[in-house]
Amino acid sequence: MTMTIMQGLNKQPLTTEEALALPGLHDQAVRYAVLHLMNILSPIRDLISELSRLAYGFDVAPFPQMQEFLEWIYDDRQYVLRKRKWP
């Protein structure tokens, strides 16, 4: 006999079946959360890359070259949803 004492996000009690399904649902939701984050960060990555490219025209760059920090951001939706683990 098993008893589940859990609440969902809506503060309603969860059945055992619902509680057992949650980890799988969370795994699916994380992929879409990462995709949304990539869509937010991609324009920032492109802007930093363009600014860094333009700064190479100076003898001394007016700011640190930081485009390497965001090189792991991908625009490819299928790649983001297929990947299982992110850094």
State the pLDDT at residue 72.
Answer: 81
Over residues 53-66, the pLDDT tens digits come to 887 777 777 777 77
| pTM score of the predicted model | 0.69
Confidence at 12, pLDDT banded by 50, 70, 90: very high
Among residues 9, 68, 81, 6, the alpha carbon closest in space to that of 38 is found at: 81
> What whole-number distance in Å separates Cα of residue 73 and Cα of residue 71?
5
> What are the residue boundaries of the structural domains of the chain, listed by start?
28-82
Structure-block tokens of residue 71 = 């090189």
